[in-house]
Structure 1
Amino acid sequence: MTQGKHKGYIKQTTTTTTTTQLLKQTSDLKTNACVAPVQPTPDFIRQALKKVHPEITARYYGCGLVVPECLEGCRILDLGSGSGRDCYMLSQLVGEKGHVTGIDMTDGQLELARTYVDHHMKEFGYKKPNINFVQGYIEALTEAGLENDSFDVIISNCVVNLSPDKRMVLTEAYKVLKDGGELYFSDIYSNGRLTEEIKNHKVLWGECLAGALWWKDLLQLAEKVGFSPPRLVTASVITVDNKELQDILGNFKFVSATYRLFKVPKGNTKNCKVIYNGGMTGAEDSFQFDCQYTFKANEVVEVDGEVANILTHSRFAEDFTFQPLGGPTGPCGVKPKVSVVFKFLDVSFTH
C-alpha cells in the first residue's frame, strides 16, 4: 500500500549551513505533493494504527502510508521516522520475532518516540521490545551505528527528495540491506533536472518539489549503487495551484511515485512462469508487485527476467512457485520483452 507522506520538516543544506523548518499545517501547502491521494487503508493496517498512542499520532506531521507486503518476521528500517507512528504500526506487522528501527535527525521527535516504547510493547503483548529509534542522517546510516547487511526492508516516504546527496542515501541503504532486501519508497520526481533557481526556492522546498530527482537519474543512481532496475509501483500527478510558483517551475512537471529497488544478484535475466501461492497478509487473493504485474492466487503468469530474479532472491521466494519456460526441463526464457511506460500529461516515463 502506498500513499504520500510529509515528515514534518524541511532540510535545506548549503555548503555551510543546515536548517530545519517545521511545516505548521496542511493548509499552508500550495501543491498536492505532500497530500495523500484518496486510497482505502486495509483493515489490518487501520487496526494496527488504532493501537498507537494518541500523543504519537497527534505529533505525526504527515499523511498516508508506505507499507509493502510480506513483512512478518522482517527487520525494517524507516528513514525519517518522526514521532514513530509508522514504526509502532510496523512493529505489529512484523510481529514479536521481527524488528523495526526508526532513524530521524530531530531530537524532539526521537524523545517522544522513545518515551512510549514500553507502553506499546505492553499494548502489543510483547515480552521484549522489537523496536528502537536512532538519531542520524539518511545519508550516513552506518555512521549512525546501523550495521551492514542487517535489514530486510527499508521504507521511506517523501524524505529522499529532502536530501542534498541522493546517491549517498541509496548507497547507505544498499549497504545496510541484506542480500535480497528491498528499498520500498515513495517520493517526488520531475521530468528533467531542475534549475538552481528552483532548487534554492524555500517555498518549493516546503512543497517537496525543489529537491525532486529527475526520474531518469533515479534509474542511473540505482544502477551505479548496485540495485536492481527500479520497479514502478504507483504514480500520481502533482498539481500546482499557485500561479507564482507555476511561473517559476515553467515547463517542469512532477509526479509522486513509489518504487521498489532490490539488492539481488546481477545478470540473471531469464523469463519464467510463476504462480502466486496466495495468503500474504493484505494480499491473500491478489498481490500487486508493481504497475506491470498483479498476481492473482494460483494463476500462472509469465514474468520478465528482472522480476523472476527478484522473486527468486527476495523475501517473496516462498510465496511463489516457479516454472521454467518450455516445460519442466526446458530453459527459463529470454531477456525481458516488456517496457513499462508511465504517461502523465504530455510526459512519458519509460523504462
Structure 2
Amino acid sequence: MQGEMGDAPSADEATVDLWGPVRHALASPPAVDPDAEPATASEVRAELRRMQGEMASHSYASMATALPALLRDSAGVGDRGLRSHVLGMTGWLLTQNRQWGDAALVLDRAVDVADDETTAAAAVATRVWCEVRQGHLEAARALAIEWADRIEPRFSRATTGQMAAWGRLWLYIATVGVRDNRGGEHEDAMGMARAAAARIGREVLTEASTTRQFGPITVEHAAAESAAIAGQPALALAIAERTPPATFLPTAAGRLRHRLDKANAHTQLGRWDDAVGELRTLGQIAPEWITQQQYARDIVSDVITRRRTLTDEMRDLADLVKLEH
C-alpha cells in the first residue's frame, strides 16, 4: 500500500445514527421557542468559534448534538456569510464522518448562500476533499481548477484569507495529480501552493468553518504525503524530518493526516514499531477521528499482513479502526 485512492465506503450504522439529528435539522429546521430571545449574529459567531475548538479536538459526538441548534440559529440572523460558514462546518463534519451524499448537498448550499467568493471557496475546498476521499479524482480536479482560476489573487493586493484559499485549492490539485499519475501537473500545482505559502509566510486558518490550515508547513506536509503515495517512503520521512514542528493547532485533522503519512512511509520501509507507534499515538489523541480513516485501516491491514504477527497491540489497533482480523 502506498496511500489510499479513496475512502468510498460510507459511514457505518452507528455513525449514521449519530448524525441523524443534523440531517433532520437540514431538512426541517428545529422549531424556535416562542418564549426565547432569538440568537444574535454575535452569539452565532461565538458558538461557531467554540465548535471550531471542538473540531480541533475531534469531539464529533458532542458536535453532532450541538449542531442542529446552530443550524437553526444561523438561519435566522440574516447574515449570508455566517450562514455559509455554519453550512460549511456541517459539510466538513459530514465528510469527515463519511456521509458523502449529505455532505455534497449541504456544501453546495454553503456555496450558494455565500456572500463573497472567498467564503464560497471554503465550502468548495471541502467539496473537493469530499470527492478526493471517494476516489472521484477527475471531479475533484475539475472543481479545484475551476475555483483556483476563479479566485486567483493579485499577489500585491490579496488578503491573507484570499491567498490561503487559493493556495489550498492548488494543494488539492497537487494531491489529485500524484494520485492520478499527472506528474507534471502535480509539480506545477505544488509550485503555485509554495508561492502562496511564501507570500503569507506563516501558518493560518483558511476559513472560519473548519480547522483547515495553509502555510509553509502545510505545503511541506503535502509534499511528504505525495512522496508516500508515490512509493517514495524515504523521501516522505526526510521531508517530515526537515519540516519544523506544527505548533499551530497541532491536533487538527491535517496534522493528524501527516502522522498517517509517516506511518505509511514506515510501513513501506518495514519499520513496524515506528508505524505502530504513530498509529497508537493517533488513537490516543483522536480516537473519534482515526475510526473514520480508511487510510488508517489500510495501514493497519498492511502491517498485519506483512509482519505476519498479530500482537495484542495490533489487535487493539485493528479494533480501533474497525478492521476485521
Under a length normalisation based on structure 1, what TM-score does the superposition of the two structures give? 0.28
**Between structures 1 and 2, the one with greater strand share:** 1
Under a length normalisation based on structure 2, what TM-score does the superposition of the two structures give? 0.29
**Between structures 1 and 2, the one with greater helix share:** 2
- Larger relative contact order (CA 8 Å, sep ≥ 6): 2
